[in-house]
Amino acid sequence: MNRGCLRVGAWGFVALATVAVHAPSVEAAGTSKYAHSDSDKRFLHHIDLYDRNNRKISPESKEPYSVEKTCGRCHDFETIAHGWHFNAFASEVERQQQKQNARGVADDVAADSEGAAAADASEPGDSTESTTDHVSSDGRPGEPWIWTDARTGTQLPLSYRDWAGRFSPSEIGISTHEMTQTFGARIPGGGVAADGDPKAKATDGKEAEPTRWPLTGSLEIDCMACHAKSGAYDFERRRETIEAENFAWAPTAALRIGEVTGSVSRMKAGVDLEDEKVQAKLPKVQYDERRFGIDGTVFFDLVRKPENNSCYQCHSQRTVSDAGIDARWNHDQDVHLRAGMSCVDCHRNGIDHQTVRGFEGEQHPAGIAATTLSCRGCHLGVAGEHGEEGDPLSLAEVAFRAGRLGSPFPKHEGLPPVHFEKLSCTACHSGPIPGETAAGLMTSLAHGLGEKGHRSGSELPSIQGPVFAKAVDTGLVTPHRAMWPAYWGKLVDGKVTPLPPEEVYTNTRRALRVRKDFIAELSEEGREVFDEKVAEALAAIEKTMDVEQAVYVSTGLVFARGDEEGSLTEVTVENSDAVEMVQWPMAHNVRPAGWALGATGCLECHSDDGLVFTSAVTPKGPAPVTAEPIRMASIQGLDEATRLEWNQLFGGRSMFKVLTAASLIVLVLAILGSWIPVIRSRTE
């Protein structure tokens, strides 16, 4: 009997082993060749540092540490690099195409290894060309990179994405290297900002000029910019290092693990990097020996979930009134922050670092899980839209219920549903409380908030808000920030195109004779001085830059040289979007329900002076001209006469209610009066 059991057990073991060998391998979701702790606790990072040549760094080393070579040993840098923040200088379409191309190449290699027979068996449409046809859009418009030069009165909105009113830096002649030096402190690195030689020539589009990338090195993705424990990362030192064109040295300087000496900005491009004299001039690192352990490792004090302090470096904002920058102590924070939430509670991401933006209708690469991280999804829920049919307790259904993160359910009692068809949630709940005119705004990206300095609030660029306009993606009235571009350009066939800002400064420096501030030294001196100097500058551009007709754009107007010497004339252009208002939605700060528009009643909006329709925004720019205010109703495309007629219905609602109540009382009394004789006759 025992022998029989052993035989059965042996054959069972063989059968199971055979099944295990031939069964398809199943990997857990998220598994990869990179190790992971799978715990909610912070992992303790005592790690070795490596330079860009993959050499281990000791306290005696002079080279900066490379984040990719150091962190990339344990973390999937290739996947992480897909994130929105790391591709700020590249369009979503370009990123998706690169991703699809990479997959196509990998498929081709696999096909070649399997032989020609496998290649012949592939289905049509498997080629690289076909995969690049289906790419994501550029998404909802965001804040542009505003190239500002106070010396020439320039505030030029730039973007590599196809958003209205923005200009492509590469088409204007601004290289990615110049963009990195100017705005690199506001991105965590990566993308084209990490393109060193030889990619630089193709990226910059200036083949005639020697590239500076071999000198500056790459601005790699810096993990610690977001994941460092608050106080462990010096954003100011990073900014100074990038402005000095020491791109590769920025992560080392920001962590303060070493002192960086020398500046690439003082070196000429095209030098021989093998020359000992050139090597001696390159920046050097003096590492702090105290940061190295006995085993040669360095402690990285980091967190898994980025803290708010990291976000504020690039996402702070201030309101500006006639008295200057409004004091912070006089303002409440975002209602979510006051409730104890953090930025990443809503703006989440996976290993691919595709951060959720949180707007309605967002097409997020992560799929349906992002829908509940919008205002409506979190507070109202989207249960039933994505759940498994017939299973109300499925994980999908439960995840999409209202009340995520403890959010209250807004009843909106007495509010007609038509409001949700016309207005976004942020129209009533977000941004500065609207006044009769749009307020001035300052942002980290545009005004360098976070950098130590003395600001008055009048610095370029001139941004205003809230501007209640229809969002381009949903058509819902949404609060926006807005600005009017100001730049020097050329007029060709009735269309205006910006000229490279740095070349403009070089060629107008003598004509304008502005030392620091275009507005203070020209515009505030009066229209006569402005016309004279700008006309001279336009003549200089036409002479030295081979431009047939040069123009200056500001405040929604286009100025060209007049017939008389030292005079200007206003001209019209066919591409009006190049001179008109540029806008992008705002979502923060979120106000509590008691401060929302309409909280005091219908008449707060539906009256002749309802601010969501009657508040105005006036074009502002460096030119000394007084533009006509633009009403929000006009921006929204509403007919003023129809709006006023509609408001009259709301204006008479109170009297209508009184008359209705009085009529009902009279009717009740009349009915009672008619019954009194009947009651008396019956009682008698």
Give Cα 380 distance to the centre of its chain: 26
The size of the chain, in residues, is 684
Q: How confident is the model at residue 331 (pLDDT cuts 50, 70, 90)?
A: confident
Model confidence over 36-51: pLDDT tens digits? 888 888 888 999 999 9
Mean pLDDT score of the chain: 83
- Greatest mean pLDDT range, 102-106, 134-138, 467-471, 609-613: 467-471
Residue 107: pLDDT over 70: no
Average pLDDT over residues 182-199: 77
More confident residue, 682 or 578: 578
pLDDT value at residue 399: 66
pLDDT value at residue 103: 59
Distance CA 335, CA 345 (A): 14
Integer angstrom CA distances of residue 129 from 104, 124, 166, 510:
8, 11, 29, 51
More confident residue, 34 or 629: 629
Residue 391: pLDDT over 80: no
Residue 1: pLDDT over 60: no
CB atoms within 10 A of CB 280: 9
pLDDT value at residue 681: 75
Judged by DSSP in three states, 229 sits in: coil
Q: Are 245 and 264 in contact (CB under 8 A)?
A: yes
Lowest mean pLDDT among 26-30, 59-63, 180-184, 331-335: 26-30
pLDDT value at residue 12: 46
Distance CA 654, CA 603 (A): 10
Token digits for 506?
């070089």
Token digits for 240?
């100074």
Q: How confident is the model at residue 25 (pLDDT cuts 50, 70, 90)?
A: very low
DSSP for residue 289? G
pLDDT value at residue 102: 61
Residue whose structure tokens are 């490279």: 500
Q: How confident is the model at residue 122 (pLDDT cuts 50, 70, 90)?
A: very low
Distance CA 484, CA 461 (A): 9
Q: Are 146 and 621 in contact (CB under 8 A)?
A: no
CA torsion sign for 339, 344, 347, 349 is negative
Average pLDDT over residues 408-425: 89
* String of DSSP letters for 532-585: HHHHHHHHHHHHHTT-SSEEEEETTEEEEE-SSTT-EEE---S-GGGTS-EEEE
Average pLDDT over residues 328-346: 87
Alpha helices in 375-489 (DSSP H): 375-379, 395-399, 418-422, 425-429, 444-447
Residue 254: pLDDT over 60: yes
Q: How confident is the model at residue 90 (pLDDT cuts 50, 70, 90)?
A: confident
Which of 6, 155, 148 has the alpha carbon at shortest distance from 579?
155
Model confidence over 655-670: pLDDT tens digits? 666 777 778 888 888 8
pLDDT value at residue 631: 94
Distance CA 168, CA 204 (A): 12
Distance CA 517, CA 523 (A): 10
Q: How confident is the model at residue 84 (pLDDT cuts 50, 70, 90)?
A: confident
84-107 core/surface letters (b: 16 or more CB in 10 A; e: else): bbbbbbbbbbbbbbbbbeeebeee
